[in-house]
Amino acid sequence: MGSFVSSLQHVRWLRRAVLSLFAFVMLAATAGANAADSQNAPFRPETFFLGITRSTGEIHTLGFIRRPFTARLKGHMAGHWLILDERFAFPDGNRRQLWRLKRVGDAYEGTVRTETENGVLAPAVPVKGKVTETGVVLTYEGRSPGGSTRLHFRHEIETTGPGKASNHVVISRFGLPIASANVTFSKPRHGRPRR
CA dihedral 73, 77, 81, 85 (to 10 degrees): -20
| Contact present, 126 and 111 (Cβ < 8 Å) | yes
The rounded distance, in Å, linking the Cα atoms of 10 and 68 is 69
25-34, 54-63, 106-115, 162-171: range with lowest mean pLDDT: 25-34
Residue 125 burial (10 A CB sphere; 0-12, 13-18, 19+): middle
Q: What is the mean pLDDT of residues 76-87?
A: 98
Q: What pLDDT does 2 receive? A: 53
> Hey, where are the domains in the chain?
1-39, 45-191
Right CATH number for 45-191 from 2.40.128.20, 3.50.50.60, 1.20.120.1200, 2.60.120.680? 2.40.128.20
Q: What is the mean pLDDT of residues 21-50?
A: 58
| Residues in Cβ contact with 193 at an 8 Å cutoff, skipping those fewer than 6 apart | 47, 50, 51
Q: What are 120-174's pLDDT values in tens digits?
A: 999 999 999 999 999 999 999 999 998 889 999 999 999 999 999 999 999 999 9
Length of the chain in residues, anyone? Answer: 195
Radius of gyration of the chain, Cα coordinates, nearest whole angstrom: 25
Top pLDDT among 159 and 37 is at 159
Q: What are 11-23's pLDDT values in tens digits?
A: 454 455 443 433 4
